[in-house]
Amino acid sequence: MPIKLPFGGRREQHPTNLWTRCPDCGEMLYNKQLDKNQRICTRCGHHFRLRVDARIAQLLDRDSFKEQDAGLQSVDMLGFVDQKPYPERLDGARTATGIRDAALWGTGTIAGTKVALCVMDFAFMGGSMGTVVGEKVTRAAEHALEERLPLIVVSASGGARMQEGTLSLMQLAKTCAAVGRLADAGVPFISLLTDPTTGGVFASFAALGDVIVAEPKALIGFAGARVAAGTIAEQLPEGFQRAEFLFEHGFVDLVVARPKLRETLLGLLRYMRPTVHVDKAGGNGSSPIGRSPAFLESLIKREPAHG
Amino acid sequence: MVDETVVAANADELRAAVWQRVQQARNVKRPHTLELVRAIATEVIELHGDRLFRDDPAIVGGFCRIDGRRAVFVGHQKGAETDENIRRNFGMPHPEGYRKQIRLCRLAERLGLPVVTFVDTPGAFPGPASEERGVAEAIARSIMVMTGLRTPIVTVITGEGGSGGALALAVGDVVLALENSIYSVISPEGAASILWRSAEYAQQAAVAMRLTAAEQLALGVIDEVVPEPEGGAHHNPDETARRLRARITAHLDTLAGRDRKVLVDARYARYRAMGEFAVVAPTGEPLPERPGFVERIRRLLVSGRAALVGESGLPSGPAEDEAEDEQQVGQDT
- Chain A contact for B262, CB < 8 A? no
CB contact, 8 Å: A80 with chain B?
yes
Of A251 and A287, the structure prediction assigns the larger pLDDT to A251
**Contact: A165, B312; criterion CB under 8 Å:** no
How would you classify the pairing of strands A113-120 and A103-110?
Answer: antiparallel
DSSP A114: E
Closest in A77, A160, A302 to B112, CB measured: A302
Q: How far is B243 from chain A (nearest CA, A)?
A: 21
* pLDDT-wise least confident of A9-23, A180-194, B108-122, B231-245: A9-23
- Percent of chain B whose pLDDT exceeds 90: 77
- Asked if A18 is an interface residue toward chain B (Cβ–Cβ < 8 A), one would say no
Lowest-confidence pick of A125-129, B1-5, B224-228: B1-5
Q: Name the minimum distance, in Å, from the CA of B219 to any CA of chain A.
A: 8
Contact A164 B183 (CB under 8 A): no
- For residues B82 and A55, give the distance between their C-alpha atoms in angstroms, rounded to a whole number: 50
- Chain A CB within 8 Å of residue B311 CB: no
CB atoms within 10 A of CB A220: 30
* Residue from B65, B117, B254, B287 to probe the interface with A (highest A Cβ count within 10 Å): B287
Kindly report, residue by residue over A92-117, the tens digit of the pLDDT. Answer: 999 999 999 999 999 999 999 999 99
pLDDT for B314 beyond 80:
no
The pLDDT tens digits for B232-244 are 999 999 999 999 9
Please say if the pLDDT value at position A279 is more than 90: no
Model pLDDT, residue A289:
47
Cβ A78 vs Cβ B191: under 8 Å: no
Interface check B231 vs A, CB under 8 A = no
Q: What percent of chain A has pLDDT over 90?
A: 76
Q: Name the residue of chain A whose CA is nearest to B69's CA.
A: A306
The pLDDT of residue B293 = 62
Domains and CATH numbers, chain A: 49-274 (3.90.226.10)
Pairing mode, if any, of strands A211-214 and A151-157?
Answer: unpaired
Q: How far apart are CA A192 and CA A205, in angstroms?
A: 11
Domains within chain B, CATH numbers bracketed = 11-272 (3.90.226.10), 293-332 (no CATH)
Neighbours of A62 (CB within 10 A): 8
Cα dihedral sign, A71-A168-B142-B108: negative
pLDDT recorded at residue A226? 59
Contacts of residue B72, defined as CB under 8 A and 6 or more positions apart, other chains included, come to: B61, B62, B63, B64, B104, B105, B107, B108, B111, B113, B114, B115, B116
* CA-based nearest residue in chain B for residue A222: B136
Contacting residues of A for B305, CB less than 8 Å apart: 7
CA-CA distance, A53 to B287, in Å (whole number)?
Answer: 7
Give residue A274's pLDDT.
80
- Asked if residue A233 has pLDDT above 80, the reply is no
Cα dihedral angle (B148, B223, B121, B241), rounded to 10 degrees? Answer: -110
- The C-alpha angle with vertex B131 and arms to B63 and A177, in degrees rounded to 5, equals 55
Binding-face residues of B in 124-143 toward A, CB within 8 A = 124, 126-128, 130-137, 139-141, 143
Average pLDDT over residues A225-248: 74
**Largest Cα–Cα separation, chain A:** 81
Q: Which residue of B has its CA nearest to A75?
A: B277
* Segments in A37-149 forming alpha helices (H): 52-59, 86-97, 131-147
- Whether the CB of A57 is below 8 Å from some CB of chain B: the reply is no
Q: What is chain A's alpha carbon radius of gyration, rounded to the nearest angstrom?
A: 21
Mean pLDDT over the full length of chain A: 87
Beta carbons within 8 Å of B239's beta carbon, 6+ residues apart = B229
Q: Which residue of B has its CA nearest to A132?
A: B277
Among chain A residues, the shortest Cα distance to B183 is held by A166
Q: Is A249 close to B204, i.e. CB distance below 8 A?
A: no
For A197-230, give the DSSP string: EEHHHHTTGGGG-SEEEE-TT-BEESS-HHHHHH
Mean predicted confidence (pLDDT) in B43-52: 98
Q: Which residues contact B332 (CB under 8 A, 6 or more apart)?
A: none
CB of A247 within 8 A of CB of A213? no
In the predicted structure, residue B142 carries a pLDDT above the cut 50? yes
Q: Is B281 on the interface with A (CB under 8 A)?
A: yes
**Mean pLDDT, residues A66-84 taken together:** 93
Closest-CA residue in chain A for B300?
A8
CB contact under 8 A, A3 and B293: yes
Q: Hey, is the C-beta of A95 within 8 angstroms of any chain B C-beta?
A: yes
Which residue blocks in B55-120 are alpha helix, DSSP H? 82-87, 95-111
Q: Is A35 helix (H, G, I), strand (E, B) or coil?
A: helix
Distances (CA, A) of B163 to A149, A213, B101, B119, B185: 32, 26, 17, 11, 4
What are the respective helix, strand and coil percentages of chain A, to the nearest 5?
Answer: 40, 20, 40
